[in-house]
Structure 1
Amino acid sequence: MHLSVKRLFVGFSLLTLASCQDVIDVDLNSSNPRYVIEGEINDSAGPYYVHITRSKNFDEDNNFPVVGDAIVTVTDVEEDITERLQFVDGVYRTSSLSGEPGHTYHLEVRTADQVFTASSTIPEQVIGIDSLYIRSSEWDANEFFATANYVDPEGRGNHYRFRQWINGRLMGLSIVTNDDFNDGRLNTLILDYNIEEDSGRPPIQTGDHIRVEMQCIDKAVYDYYRTLENAGGGDGGGWHSPANPVGNIKGGALGVFNACSHSFKEIRAE
């Protein structure tokens, strides 16, 4: 099955990772501000980043205060190496840590009054996109979307996340999928997006440059993005009892710590 994670209004934004920014906004059910922690480590060369902010009430402005006085460490459990991240330009960043498939990474964030922890494992299976091409929409022959083919290895339990940039602009739709019904098979995934939620951008046109990222993620990260989908309504319609997303951060903070392998593929629409 696969789920589409839409842009939800408005609670926090993901950090800038690998020179890209993925914005996921969440409506909060709490009147008390909470810490929001977003981090990612992958199997590309670092640095890697952790972004920490404080949430606000639904009726307040969207300028979320950045937390710059926390003590943030990431530990490679297999190598028994711990690095303290430095706060630079609004984010915490590593300097020497490397992401390795099969390794588990432990995040610890210490603020003045609380301690938060999370662990995530980069899947050993490193899977990439076999082919990327343009096809017409199943609903409208005049609309075109990028389509990715990839082969899921045999053995249940693989989870994936896809992100798409068109002409350098990240589409606000992140697609998560697993191998519950396609284990060990060739998979074809249409990377559609909600035109209205992406500021009215029309579907892909001739000459557009498309860049797609495929992440192999662990189950906890997959569940987080699935929860975001459920919070916004699985049918893509209006709000259905908004809820705080269930992440893998322990200690009461919102957000997610994502250790993943990833790869990119690019094409130009002709």
Structure 2
Amino acid sequence: MTARGGGTRIPGWLYIPAAAGAALVLLPLAGLLSRVDWPALPALLTTEASLDALWLSVRTAALSTAICVVLGVPLAFVLARSAFRGLALVRAVVLLPLVLPPVVGGLALLYAFGRNGLLGEALELGGIRIGFTTTAVVLAQAFVSLPFLVLSLEGALRLEHRPYELVAATLGASPSVVLRRISLPLMLPALISGAVLAFARSLGEFGATLTFAGSYQGTTRTLPLEIYLQREVDPDVAVALSLLLVIVALVGVLLTASRQRGLRT
């Protein structure tokens, strides 16, 4: 049997465990869809608590994504184009939130920016409180989402655009001009897909947010926290909000997958 898009043959038996792997993901999603009260879906998504959580999640996810873009683009350039002692360690630390349990990330943020934290104590003396506020939600989301954007950009920077940048540098363009006129425009598709992934990850963040920001309606109770609370009170609302998050995450994955297909072609 021939793999699509190339001439490499794969053993036919591989499709059996592959189908089982796909079923492991699809069956729970099908179970979720089977529990959606479709006629009541608009009403379930427009309750006061749902709208508060939705608006807070969208607003904080947008802010955290902006932070990821502002900090992640330079970070990806440094990781992809620099060579210095300790670079591997820096990359490992930057990507650490990908494998850390979110609650551990929340504790780390709390001990850094909380009232008695590493920086939080000094901030409190200056009248600035971060822990258990909306700002804490944004920081928690940015903490867990930044690696997604950095990985997306770093991979693109390693595989693409280098010849164009070298030509521009040979013609006398300064590094800043090359960055502004060549690198950034060419990496825009990767930046968009990485930003969408970061937004979707921010929108779905739960553990770090709960630990660092708590759950206060209209202030820190995002969609995942509202889903967690509603699963006991009103399961239909929890399922409706879960469906919304699944759709947003699916859009992000599809955009990233379409970009990867474009690179292969």
State the TM-score, normalizing by the size of structure 2: 0.19
Higher strand share: 1
Higher helix share: 2
State the TM-score, normalizing by the size of structure 1: 0.19
Greater relative contact order (Cα < 8 A, sep 6+): 2
